[in-house]
Amino acid sequence: MRAIWTGAISFGLVSIPISLYPATKREDLKFRLLRAGDLSPVNYKRVAEADGKEVPWEKIVKGYEYEKGKYVVISDEDFKRVDIEATQTVDIIEFVKIEEVDPLLFSKPYYMEVKKGGDKAYSLLRQALTESGKIAIAKVVIKTRQHLAAIKPQQRGLMLEIMHFPEDLLDASDFKQPASSSPGKGEIAMAKKLIESMTATWNPSAFKDEYHTMLEKVVEMKVKHKGDKGHYTPEKKVKSTNVIDLASVLQASIKHAQTKKSPPVKRIQKAA
């Protein structure tokens, strides 16, 4: 895999050479828009709203709409004025306890691979973060864009996680809050019992992208039958109903969860 960025962690007077690699992947199925009559691919054209004429790339500029239908042109020179110098360093600003950081701020993780000569300092930073229970808050420029980021210990290595700036988050108070009705002690007890009955050891490999898997099966079926025959119908899940009697629904949920966890009963054959 090719590194998306190569530089160094700036840690006080310590410099740790590293490379960044994506820690996640997303393999969505790609579809083309086609004309229904003959399945001819449909292409896009850049046309002006004023007269519907096609516009070549060299005649296109970037504009900001400051009022409805009114624009100012932002040139390449304007963008250069605010361009932040790429220093090729992950500059650590401070260290904080991870529980103090809103999880919503974390966005995209990257693996930090140590380069030649940085092993000892890299291991030192990872060990110090692990034992202190803290993460490093840093700033880094990737592809001309400055990012807020966190450096976290991860198993034997370090992760760089790109973060949202606080102003990027929507205020939770903008959304409807639950009505101020307190559940009864019995309902709380049953809810906790339901949580306990559904508690399991975390096994991430047990979770798959079901939508992607089913869509692949639909495509395979269509290809096999040239698109005009064959259907793949996934099993339908039982939909949840609106809660009327919370206590009875919780009790039924507990029984259902316990049934799912119960091991199958072995039948003992009697000797003839």
In tens, the pLDDT along 5-64 reads 999 999 888 899 999 999 988 778 888 889 998 989 998 889 999 999 999 999 999 999
- Per domain, the residue ranges of the chain are 5-26+83-168
Give residue-wise pLDDT tens across range 119-164: 999 999 999 999 999 999 999 988 878 899 999 999 889 999 999 9
Q: Is the pLDDT of residue 101 over 80?
A: yes
Query: What's the pLDDT at 204?
Result: 84
Of the candidates 165, 195, 3, 7, the residue with the CA atom closest to the CA atom of residue 88: 7
Q: Percent of the chain, pLDDT > 70?
A: 86
Confidence of residue 83 (pLDDT cuts 50, 70, 90): low
Position 268 scores a pLDDT of: 47
Question: 5-26+83-168 has which CATH code?
Answer: 2.40.290.10
The percentage of the chain sitting over the pLDDT mark of 90, rounded to a whole number, equals 44
What's the rounded mean pLDDT across residues 175-201?
Answer: 84
The b-or-e profile of 35-71 (16+ CB within 10 A means b, else e) is eeeeeeeeeeeeeeeeeeeeeeeeeeeeeeeeeeeee
Report, as an integer, the average pLDDT of 232-257: 67
Q: Count of alpha carbons within 13 Å of 219, Cβ hemisphere only?
A: 10
Smallest CA-to-CA distance from 10 within 155, 164, 149 is with 149
User: How many C-beta atoms surround the C-beta of residue 267 within 10 A?
Assistant: 5
Q: What angle do CA 247, 250, 254 make, to 5 degrees?
A: 140
Residue by residue, DSSP assigns 57-92 as GGG--EEEEEETTEEEEE-HHHHHHTPPP--SEEEE
